Amino acid sequence: MCAEHHQPILIVEDDPNTAALVAVYLEREGFQTTCVHDGYKALKMARARPPLLVILDIMLPKVDGWEICKQLRKHSDVPILMLTAREEEIDRVLGLSMGADDYVVKPFSPRELVERVKAILRRARPAEGQARQLLHHGRLALDSVKHKVTLDGRAVALTGSEFKLLHALMRAPGKVFSREELLGKFYRNHETVIERVIDVHVGKLRQKIEDNPAKPRYVLTVRGFGYRLAELDEL
């Protein structure tokens, strides 16, 4: 089913039994997998051979999942699914705001995890036959195929979530998006993700594209509802 994927899914989990179980279910679906059991090895392996996706446990020896996610996002937009033994809201907010694409709470169903992986990969790649999309808005330019954003011709490094957020806004300048609408573009089960995650993503995006993030010109807040991209005559 997924034999076209030559890159492995990197499973970062300190419990060998859990890692092996996840690997078996993924391999049944045609994915290649690689398992590592500590953070240092995970970072080294991800840099040596970029994976298709990373399944990342939070509680790891040496380097925890938060730090691995942070380090990966400095140089890669590889999809990340985080595993957590805790269901506290702050854990979900922290992981998603760091750039994780989804999360699963332990104990979990291996079948559900595989479906989450498939959903993340569907969102991460353009639809077959999709035309290259170049969007321009003022000093901003976005290439949806190369997954590249520039400001005044200089590359801007965005996380996957920040890119999706900007892409949605740039496709409809002036349109007001509710937080719920924007969550639906990022997360499969967005009803379990609190809406203030969007506020975190917007804040980080503003830090990267606005001259003065405290007084944004591009990504504008619509109080009581959500966000919109300023129209050209407002810039």
Query: Mean pLDDT over all residues of the chain?
Result: 86
pLDDT in tens, 192-221: 556 678 898 999 999 999 999 999 999 999
Residue ranges and CATH numbers for the domains of the chain are 9-124 (3.40.50.2300), 134-234 (1.10.10.10)
How far apart CA 188 and CA 67 sit, in angstroms, is 24
Identify whether the C-beta of residue 167 lies closer than 8 Å to the C-beta of residue 144: yes
Of the candidate ranges 6-15, 44-53, 112-121, 177-186, the one whose mean pLDDT is the lowest = 177-186
Chain segment 22-48, per-residue pLDDT in tens = 999 999 999 999 999 988 899 988 888
Strand partners, 134: 143
> pTM here?
0.63
CA-to-CA distance for 51 and 23, rounded, in angstroms? 14
Residue count (the chain): 235
**pLDDT tens-digit map of 66-88:** 899 988 888 788 899 999 877 66
Q: How far apart are alpha carbons 130 and 124 in whole angstroms?
A: 13
Cα–Cα distance between 20 and 205 in angstroms, integer? 37
